[in-house]
Structure 1
Amino acid sequence: MEILNEQVPAPADVGNALIGIRGGSELDLDLRLEAVHEGILVSGTATAQIAGECGRCLDSIEYDYEADIQELFYYEESEEFEDDDDVDQYWVIGDLIDIDPVLRSAVVTALPFQPVCREDCLGLCNECGINLNEDPEHHHEILDPRWAALAQLSDNVAEDAATNKTSDKREEK
């Protein structure tokens, strides 16, 4: 058994379009490597800084994430691996193992599909783009285009009524 406590640069492109590990940032590995009959069992944690932006308001999001890792790396000559195409197989090549795909799998599956800065984030105004978290009362008077002709007719009726009142007052004098 061997204990591995190291800080290494994080790989690039771990995440999705909105959120992921910042490439080159510090990645803390706290792993235990155990020799077992089939290969090397790697277990422990990897702590990475997650960075991205809110899917609603586009504000920055940053937090530390600790990924639990437990994976068996098979010896090349091992016959005891699962013969299933849906299961990822990891191998000991010479005396080396590549932890990168295991880390990617552990982190990417835990990342939110639509990250938010907070659960009650109001997002951006659809009309002008103002951050609604800063001005929750902000709104625009929007008329459904299907009702535009009716609104115009209502305006015409109101104008006619105002014109008639003015002419009625002139006739009374």
Structure 2
Amino acid sequence: MSQNHEARTPQGGPWVIDAREIGHQPGSSRSYQRSAPAPAGFGLDLIKVAEGDPVELDLLAESVVEGILVSGTASAQLTGECARCLDPVADEVEVQVRELFAYPDSATDSSTDEDEVERIVDDLIDLGPVVRDAVLLSLPSAPVCSPDCPGLCSGCGAKWAELDADHTHETIDPRWAALKERFGGTEEEN
């Protein structure tokens, strides 16, 4: 008994599935294709799904003895900045989602810790935290605009890609700075 569900979303918006639509009979299922707006905090410091941008959900919810098993994919556009040169970065993310949402008073209450399995609350399944966690785990902690991005010059902060090949900064070992002050010139001259 597989059905497709697109238009109607229960109270709570597109991140919520009404478990009553699927039924409690093991084997019954329903497909969901939705676009849900990303809430705040859907990413890391340097790369994220911008708040309000669509997250495309293509999921199958299947009734099993202990609850409802939700599996499928979530995809979205990413925006951020390169960890090396701070240029804008745009990318896509697609993650696999597979999570059991347990019925209240199911066998999982006694066989698992409270935070080990997601729970169905008031016949509603909140997909937001599960999809958010899957997206966060897939993101690079240091995104780059290209694998060979040279980054920024530590001396002046300019982009290495825009600097001449012979770009350097004179650095003096602080232990020799007093000698330079006293005698003038560079270390090589003295």
Q: Which TM-score tier does this pair reach, normalised by the shorter chain? A: 0.7 to 0.9
Matched, 1:67 2:95: yes
Distance, in Å, in 2 between the alignment partners of 1:136 and 1:114 is 26
How many percent of aligned residue pairs carry the same amino acid? 45
The one-letter code of the counterpart of 2:185 is: D
Change (3 A) 1:88 1:52: farther
Moved runs in structure 1, 4+ residues, more than 3 A?
Answer: 149-156
- Cα distance in structure 1, aligned partners of 2:152 and 2:121: 50
User: What is the rounded CA distance, in whole Å, between the counterparts of 1:104 and 1:24 in structure 2?
Assistant: 14
Instruction: Give 1:26 shift.
Output: 1.1
Q: Which residue is 1:164 aligned to?
A: none
How far apart are residue 113 of structure 1 and its match? 1.5
- Of 150, 175, 178, the residue aligned with 1:122 is 150
Match of 1:31 among 56, 59, 73: 59
Residues 150 and 74 of structure 1, relative CA distance in 2, 3 Å threshold: same
Unaligned residue ranges in structure 1 (runs of 5+): 160-173
Tell me, yes or no, if structure 1 residue 45 matches structure 2 residue 62.
no
Instruction: Write the distance in 2 (CA, Å) between the matches of 1:89 and 1:80.
Output: 8
Q: Which structure has greater helix proportion?
A: 1
Alignment of 1:77-88 (within 5 A): 77-81=105-109, 82-84=111-113, 88=116
Offset, 1:117: 1.5
Q: Which residue identity does 1:98 align to in structure 2?
A: D
Structure 2 gaps, min length 5:
1-28
CA distance in 2, matches of 1:136, 1:99: 51
Q: Deviations over 1:3-48 (max 9, x none)?
A: 1111121122112211111110011000000000000000000001
Say whether residues 1:140 and 2:140 are aligned partners.
no
User: Could you report, residue by residue, the CA deviation over 1:48-107 in whole angstroms, capped at 9, with x for unpaired residues?
Assistant: 11111111111111111001100000001212254236x532111233100011011101
Q: For the pair shown, which has the larger CA radius of gyration, 1 or 2? A: 1
Pairwise CA distance, 1:134: 2.1
Provide the TM-score with structure 2 as the length reference: 0.74
- The one-letter amino acid paired with 2:87 is D
AA of the residue aligned to 2:100: L
Give the count of matched residue pairs: 158
TM-score relative to the length of structure 1: 0.81
